[in-house]
Chain A
């Protein structure tokens, strides 16, 4: 009895001590970014590194470490397996990495559904632009076309590749995808030259910079489709892929594939912790992230750096991650086919 009381006393004393000095006090956290410095993922991570500490009890120091390679697969594997699950290493990874898991790439050493999800500062919905002087004035024209339009893409894991491929699957287009461009800007240049006529990429970028400002002003391109659930206020006349699926009466399996692929947009530019991180620390970081996303100072800083904030939070991403990770064989097969596996 005496022993139990002593143990209890010790326990309360210890926990009281813990309450006095928060875990994160005097610690250094690292955000491992799966891209090179200067990339948009990196810019968001540096914004967070600057503003998260004041929202975490103990005000830890946060540094950014770039770990580029294999489309952020290296960084994701690192955070999942190598980093200690102590809540000090945050991963900033690509939102579409679960594709590799679903289609069963053996290089994937993580389970997407088991990451501890912190949130994403932005939802990245996509659009498909088409040169205005091409014969394709709407998606209907593309579906009917005897000679399909040529869309530029970098590699098979890029938005520019899988968005048109998805349209082929769900509404029966037959895009000719010209892959191999070095970077997105090379595709834009190829569109200027008329080598290709279309490209799919994020709505944010389309409204943020050249050459798109000039293109929009001159009516050089036309936006044929967007991938958000709702129409973007900046694109009120452009149908969403969901509207198109209704219009073309896409079968259930195709819709499931669309949901699965487009979830990447919801994951946005996601932050994760290692799967076995203690729940209380996950909560601390999640709360800090949520607070930062509503902080006026953060919003002002983001606006100055031309980074859009439209956050999704940990719980929602966690649920979505569970949903996308388990797919029936039929959908997996469709996805493999779509990605050219």
Chain B
């Protein structure tokens, strides 16, 4: 095993594999930065290029390396401009962008990048450590368990509600309702499609997230007529401070990384959900949550990177990809002659370790690169808004469009942009809506599947009961804490 571990390392550093890794990182770097344009779409676009590659290790150095860094650089856009760089980076806006506004962009970026590297390490380590127990680990979660986990996620709506619990719950309810749009998979009936074929496939998460979060910030920037940072450029609060923050909240970062791994292993859930759960966990009990608390940056920053490692676990253990991007990666690997599956744990163990190394090395390189330019990036928040807005709008719409190459995506972005603007204006929190939209579909499907497959017996599965108890504890935890006399804080004016 040690041999394979070492051999994997040298395979990644060998030429030309390392060269491919660098190309992958370069592509992933920019894809991550550009709003909306995500790892999945780019992977699909890059697929033809990988056909010319001969060796499996070289192929995933390129593709996995690219995928690994999109999560990291996506965080940068979220923090600097309040625009999600990736669908899975949206949660960083909540506290990262307020930090930029008060001139702490450097600190937020430092924290995001460091926690990203942290997350990647934990993800890669989990992948390496879980090799002996991979198969039972993946088989642990059936549809009933996934249903309860989705419900557990829904309960986080309460934590994400911010100042007004009622508004939060209502927004979450609207999200759940929006999740019902589309062709229902059980009966094939059309729900709320209003004769539009675009709505058959349910709302795509990218246009909704980009609309809800990006448009209001851009409008706000235009109205304020200043730079993003509201304080003058005296001295940037240092990047180093953010790095230190990560170590100050060491265990929080580790816990959020593990949340990411866990959601990565689970089919369907992935980084899009993990970021919110990690955010909710990160800011639990933090006083200035939503106003620029560094914990709100560290949590999702770590989680959206560590999911990549978790994602690979079912792919390697069964040859069954855990997410859309893994399915594409698997397709590419097949073409170069590697058939991921159980043999990855035996004959090709070194290749599996090479994947672990790609995750680690890619993130280290991109973090190093980021630190070189972070101060320059942070300086962007001091540029006059009117100079930034055209570029931001352009990238926002390009990003939304790439989700399905459909004009309807742009309309959806606009509609949710307007909705987002009014939500901010009247103090309605946006994260519950997103979480409801993502989880509604998952919860509905797995409830149906569980009932169709097991009748009502699944309610008595030990694993289900344990998960229900955990959910109740999570729900009750803040109340218990409150009873212990923690001061409640009310801030009706700053919905997140």
Contact = CB atoms under 8 A, between A and B. Distances in A.
A107 B188 contact: no
A182 interface: yes
A70 B138 CA distance: 31
Interface stretch (B67-75, B109-117, B169-177, B442-450): B442-450
A245 to B, nearest CB: 25
A155 B331 contact: no
B200 A69 contact: yes
B341 A70 contact: no
Interface in B450-470: 452-454
A276 interface: no
Contact of A305 (B51, B139, B324, B327): B51
B321 interface: yes
B406 A150 contact: no
A235 interface: no
B371 interface: no
Q: With a 10 A CB-CB cut-off, give which of A42, A74, A208, A341 has the most chain B CB atoms.
A: A74
Given A36-B44, A70-B201, A155-B183, A195 B339 contact: no
Contact of A176 (B183, B268, B334, B452): B452
Contacts of B195: 107
Contacts of A340: 187-188
B188 A65 contact: no
B238 interface: no
B101 to A, nearest CB: 36
Contact of A74 (B45, B197, B453): B197
Contact of B197 (A43, A107, A157): A107
Interface in A105-164: 107, 150, 154-157
A213 B341 contact: yes
Given A37-B47, A195-B142, A180 B200 contact: no
Interface size class of B (residues with CB under 8 A): 35 or more
Nearest to B267: A186
Nearest to A178: B452
A89 to B, nearest CB: 15
A73 B453 CA distance: 30
A211 B188 contact: no
B186 interface: yes
Interface string A31-63: 000001110001100100000000000000000
Contacts of B185: 154-156, 179-180
A189 B314 contact: yes
B54 to A, nearest CB: 11
Contacts of B343: 214
A196 interface: yes
A306 interface: yes
Nearest to B336: A304
Contact of B41 (A37, A70, A188, A196): A37
A150 B320 contact: no
B207 interface: no
A180 B449 contact: yes
A172 interface: no
A25 B171 CA distance: 56
B437 to A, nearest CB: 15
Nearest to B198: A69
A45 to B, nearest CB: 12
A214 B43 CA distance: 27
A234 interface: no
Contacts of B339: 209-210, 213
Interface string A283-300: 000000000000000000
A37 B43 CA distance: 9
Interface in A173-197: 176-183, 185-186, 188-190, 192-193, 195-196
B143 interface: yes
A189 B452 contact: no
A341 B188 contact: yes
B84 interface: no
A190 B139 CA distance: 8
A156 B182 CA distance: 13
Contacts of B448: 179-180
Contacts of B243: none
A183 B143 contact: no
Contact of B188 (A70, A155, A189): A155
Contacts of A90: none
A66 interface: yes
B285 interface: no
Contacts of B340: 210
B438 to A, nearest CB: 12
Contacts of A182: 267-268, 445
B328 interface: yes
Contacts of B405: 65-68
Contacts of A177: 452
B453 A196 contact: yes
Given A38-B44, A209-B339, A304-B335, A185 B201 contact: no
B318 interface: yes
B376 interface: no
A37 B45 CA distance: 7
A335 B167 CA distance: 46
A339 interface: yes
A38 B201 CA distance: 18
A186 B45 contact: no
A202 interface: no
Contact of A304 (B51, B198, B201): B51
A118 B330 CA distance: 31
A47 B230 CA distance: 53
B404 A68 contact: yes
B319 interface: yes
Given A186-B267, A214-B342, A38 B319 contact: no
Question: What are the 6 tightest A-B residue pairs by CB atom distance, in nearest-first order?
Answer: A210-B319, A210-B341, A156-B188, A37-B44, A38-B44, A70-B200
25 contacts: A37-B47, A38-B47, A38-B331, A68-B405, A70-B197, A73-B200, A74-B406, A155-B188, A156-B187, A181-B445, A181-B449, A183-B327, A186-B268, A189-B267, A190-B142, A192-B320, A195-B143, A195-B454, A209-B334, A211-B319, A214-B342, A305-B335, A306-B335, A340-B187, A341-B188
Given A178-B452, A304-B51, 15 more contacts: A67-B405, A77-B197, A150-B453, A155-B185, A180-B452, A185-B327, A186-B320, A189-B318, A195-B449, A195-B453, A209-B334, A210-B320, A214-B341, A305-B335, A341-B188
Interface of A: 36-38, 42-43, 46, 65-71, 73-74, 77, 107, 150, 154-157, 176-183, 185-186, 188-190, 192-193, 195-196, 208-211, 213-214, 304-306, 339-341
